[in-house]
């Protein structure tokens, strides 16, 4: 049976990502990437939303990706898994950059005046285009890491021959709590400088825990019994992290060291992920027309939403053409319009749907066949 709660976690988390990126674009805490503060407020109280969700919303997606990999590999070979992951993940995050995502790079460079500075310095246009391509990767960092993790998983599977998975099914609750320590330890290593989102070890632990531990029904049955406790713990730690770093410390950079390598960040990331996983497994394991639609469009929303938000920031907010509240609202609307709209268009165009969204011809043929069943 399909685990509907995993689908619901994905689309709900992606919606949270959209909301986060709106606040992130105009944040007043000095977190690099957006255009910064556009209000005249000394403190933007709503910026606390970033602190409440940032530690855990990407870890839970890697956790779910690990669980989903186990479900896929139950019915497919390692070769089929790598082929599928390559089409779905590697193609959009490499070929897709040249086909479409360079547009995001164009917007990003103009937000930071990078294009004008490079042109003034006499940098050849072809080189500027390549820089736009690299800058256009944006939210696809998640896809980059996930493909790498998928390859590593297959290597590990070939070595351990199912023994780790069998051991994972017997994981007691006390050991689940102690997994905090490898998560915290992983947060200290394999972090790229400047581009702080590429945390190879940190997210890898979540992915592998998803595959080897939380994909087991026995473990999830134990977690569901404590869903309310886990939700309360996750909420308490998220609030503690937000209060400490936003209110008490006056708005620290939550996305970079030393904050994102501290024990409180790791605890909030892990507890928030467990809260979402256990809570949705117990209370959100259902499906209806709305959740099916949201789930089937969540990848498109993730891939394209930031282009809408950043385009509004470049055209309207950066030039102060609209009041700040309208810029926020328009950015939010554009995130969903671009996300769903571009997905609806590009998913119907041959080659582009493969290059940008990783939709194979085989998958399209299956969809067509269902119409006549």
pLDDT of res. 368 = 40
Q: For the chain, what is the HEC assignment?
A: CCCHHHHHHHHHHHHHHHHHHHHHHCCCCCCECECCCCCCCCCCHHHHHHHHHHHHHHHHHHHHHHHHHHHHHCCCCHHHHHHHHHHHHHHHHHHHHHHHHHHHHHHHHHHCCHHHHHHHCCCCHHHHHHHHHHHCCHHHHHHHHHHHHHHHHHHHHHHHCCHHHHHHCCCCHHHHHHCHHHHHHHCCCCECCCCCCCEHHHHHHHHHHHHHCCCCHHHHHHHHHCHHHHHHHHHHHHHHHHHHHHHHCCCCCCCCCCHHHCHHHHHHHHHHHHHHHHHHHHHCCCCCHHHHHHHHHHHHHHHHHHHHHHHHHHHHHCCCCCCHHHHHHHHHHHHHHHHHHHHHHHCCCCCHHHHHHCCCHHHHHHHHHHCCC
Q: Which residue in 83, 93, 186, 194 sits closest to 141, CA to CA?
A: 93
pLDDT of res. 194 = 78
Count: domains in the chain: 1
pLDDT of res. 370 = 40
Measured distance CA(264)–CA(134) in Å, rounded:
33
Give how far the C-alpha of residue 3 lies from the chain's centroid of Cα atoms, to the nearest Å. 20
Residue 109: phi, psi to the nearest 5? -70, -35
Token pair recorded at residue 256:
């970079």
Token pair recorded at residue 175:
């050991």
Measured distance CA(159)–CA(161) in Å, rounded:
6
Q: In which region does residue 30 sit, left (phi positive, over 0), alpha (psi from -120 to 50) or beta (all else)? A: left
Tens digit of each residue's pLDDT, the chain (373 residues): 789 999 999 999 999 999 999 999 999 998 888 899 999 999 999 999 999 999 999 999 999 999 999 999 999 999 999 999 999 999 999 999 999 999 999 999 888 877 677 777 788 888 888 988 988 888 999 999 999 999 999 999 999 988 999 999 999 999 999 999 999 999 999 998 878 889 999 999 999 999 999 999 999 999 999 999 999 999 999 999 999 999 999 999 999 999 999 999 999 999 999 999 999 999 999 999 999 999 999 999 999 999 999 999 999 999 999 999 999 999 999 999 999 999 999 999 999 999 999 998 666 545 543 433 3
Can you name the residues that pair with 32 across neighbouring β-strands?
34
Q: CA 239, 241, 247, 253 torsion: positive or negative?
A: negative
Q: Which residue has the tokens 């939010």?
A: 332
Q: Which residue in 238, 309, 242, 258 sits closest to 24, CA to CA?
A: 309
pLDDT of res. 363 = 60
Residue 152 lies in domain: 4-370
Contact assessment for residue 233 and residue 227, using Cβ atoms and an 8 Å cutoff = no
pLDDT of res. 362 = 63
Measured distance CA(211)–CA(206) in Å, rounded:
9
pLDDT of res. 157 = 95
Contact assessment for residue 276 and residue 234, using Cβ atoms and an 8 Å cutoff = yes
Contact assessment for residue 361 and residue 354, using Cβ atoms and an 8 Å cutoff = yes
Distances (CA, A) of 208 to 26, 146, 150, 293, 344: 34, 11, 10, 28, 33
pLDDT of res. 280 = 97
State the Rg of the chain over Cα.
21
């Amino acid at each position: 049976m399909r685990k509907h709660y995993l689908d619901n976690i994905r689309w709900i988390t992606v919606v949270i990502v959209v909301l986060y990126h709106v606040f992130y674009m105009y944040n007043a805490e000095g977190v690099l990437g957006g255009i910064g503060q556009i209000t005249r407020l000394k403190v933007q109280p709503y910026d606390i939303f970033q602190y409440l969700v940032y530690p855990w919303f990407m870890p839970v997606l890697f956790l779910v990706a690990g669980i989903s990999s186990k479900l896929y590999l139950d019915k497919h070979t390692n070769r089929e898994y790598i082929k599928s992951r390559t089409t779905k993940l590697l193609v959009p995050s490499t070929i897709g950059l040249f086909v479409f995502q360079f547009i995001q790079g164009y917007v990003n460079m103009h937000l930071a005046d990078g294009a004008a500075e490079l042109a003034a310095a006499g940098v050849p246009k072809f080189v500027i285009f390549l820089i736009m391509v690299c800058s256009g990767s944006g939210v696809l960092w998640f896809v980059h890491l996930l493909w790498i993790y998928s390859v590593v998983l297959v290597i590990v599977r070939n070595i351990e021959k199912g023994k780790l998975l069998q051991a994972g099914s017997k994981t007691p609750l006390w050991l689940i709590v102690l997994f905090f320590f490898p998560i915290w330890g992983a947060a200290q290593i394999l972090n790229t400088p400047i581009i702080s989102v590429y945390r190879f070890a940190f997210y890898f632990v979540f992915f592998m825990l998803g595959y080897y531990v939380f994909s087991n029904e026995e473990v999830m049955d134990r977690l569901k019994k404590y869903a309310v406790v886990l939700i309360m713990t996750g909420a308490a730690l998220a609030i503690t992290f937000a209060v400490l770093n936003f209110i008490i410390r006056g708005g620290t950079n939550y996305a970079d060291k030393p904050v994102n390598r501290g024990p409180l960040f790791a605890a909030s990331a892990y507890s928030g992920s467990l809260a979402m996983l256990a809570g949705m497994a117990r209370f959100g394991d259902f499906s209806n027309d709305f959740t099916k639609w949201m789930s089937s469009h969540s990848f498109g929303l993730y891939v394209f939403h930031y282009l809408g938000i950043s385009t509004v920031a470049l055209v309207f907010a950066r030039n102060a053409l609209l009041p700040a509240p309208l810029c926020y609202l328009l950015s939010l609307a554009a995130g969903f319009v671009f996300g769903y709209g571009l997905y609806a268009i590009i998913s119907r165009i041959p080659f582009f749907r493969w290059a940008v969204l990783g939709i194979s011809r085989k998958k399209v043929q299956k969809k067509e066949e269902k119409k006549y069943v």
